[in-house]
Amino acid sequence: MKKTLVKFWSNHTALVIGALVSIVLLATFLLFQYNESNVLKLESRWLLVAGVPLLAALIVGGYIKSFKGFGVELEASLSKPVTNVELSATEAMDEIIGDEKRSIDYLHRLSSKDRRNISRLVLVQGRVDYYRSYVLETYLHELKGLKYIEIRNQEGQFVALIPTSEFKNGIEINGNLLGEFIHALEQSQILLRYSRSVITTHITEDTGLIEALKIMRRLKIQQLVVLDEGNLFQGVLMARSVEKRIVDNVLQAKENV
């Protein structure tokens, strides 16, 4: 709830301030009228003045284009200007269905549909003599849609994402590469050993798409990991998906103006 209120405040600051000022003015005018005060004697229609701050906020915020008097003629534009389009990272990310690596028996009990859908395998770094090369090789063979291996720390938080292509020569799985990977995993040296291919750059799920695109362009990368408030994996954000989502919304906003 607090997160939602903070986000609303940041996106609609002018509107909130204008509304609060209008409410205070209206309450003050009504109080004077009720007490028949000599300090402020206004005809009832002048109580509309209390709405001026709110009206100004609507215009400044881009919610309306113009106001032509107490007649009331408003040229409505409830869609924000193109430059203010706000989209969160979750609106364009690929969720990347995942499962934690367990036993081979567990793998074989999964339905063929589940095996096809799993595209992210979760491993925990720092576990010694826990993972075996032949078991990982079996997972890579049978999970045809597997694209990434997610590395987590002992607390279950995201550390890194590694493309499964790191362990293959073309389409063939390389057992030696898997052995080296397990050793690095046990020693918690994944970031050092796979610095060129590992994906660690991440954003929170409430990050705007425009900001995410700025980060990718600044770092010259094509993808980001999206995490929640507890640093748990939520999905992957691809540059091409971000660009398409922004363009689609800009075009839609222009059509609505």
Q: Which of 17-26, 109-118, 225-234, 247-256 has the lowest mean pLDDT?
A: 17-26
Q: Which of 78, 110, 126 is the last residue of a domain?
A: 78
> Are 83 and 246 spatial neighbours (Cβ–Cβ below 8 Å)?
no
118 and 236 both lie in a single domain: yes
For 103-157, what is each residue's pLDDT tens digit?
Answer: 999 999 999 999 999 999 999 999 999 999 999 999 999 999 999 999 999 999 9
Q: Which of 50, 78, 106 is the last residue of a domain?
A: 78
The pLDDT of residue 83: 41
107 and 36 both lie in a single domain: no
Q: Which of 56, 78, 100 is the last residue of a domain?
A: 78
pLDDT tier for residue 16 given thresholds of 50, 70 and 90: low
Residue 138: exposure state from Cβ atoms within 10 A (0-12, 13-18, ≥19): middle
49 and 148 both lie in a single domain: no
Q: For every residue of 125-175, which 3-state class applies, written as one string? A: CCCCCCCCHHHHHHHHHHCCCCCEEEEECCCCCEEEEEEHHHHEECCEECH
CB atoms within 10 A of CB 22: 19
Cis amide leading into 72 (omega within 30): yes
8 and 134 both lie in a single domain: no
The pLDDT of residue 249: 82
Residue 251, in any domain of the structure: no
For 156-214, what is each residue's pLDDT tens digit?
Answer: 999 999 999 999 888 889 999 999 999 999 999 999 999 999 999 999 988 988 899 99
69 and 162 both lie in a single domain: no
69 and 97 both lie in a single domain: no
For 35-72, what is each residue's pLDDT tens digit?
Answer: 655 545 555 555 555 555 555 555 555 555 455 554 44
- Domain total for the chain? 2
Q: What is the DSSP code (8-state) at residue 106?
A: H
51 and 151 both lie in a single domain: no
122 and 70 both lie in a single domain: no
55 and 109 both lie in a single domain: no
> Are 154 and 123 spatial neighbours (Cβ–Cβ below 8 Å)?
no
* CATH number where 157 lies: 3.10.580.10
Asked whether the predicted pLDDT for residue 89 surpasses 90, the reply is: no
Range of the domain at 6: 2-78
98 and 207 both lie in a single domain: yes
138 and 217 both lie in a single domain: yes
The pLDDT of residue 35: 65
142 and 184 both lie in a single domain: yes
Residue 211, in any domain of the structure: yes
Residue 83, in any domain of the structure: no
> Among 95, 88, 134, 136, which Cα is nearest to 118's?
95
Residue 252, in any domain of the structure: no
Give the helix/strand (H/E) hosting 227: strand 223-227
Residue 255, in any domain of the structure: no
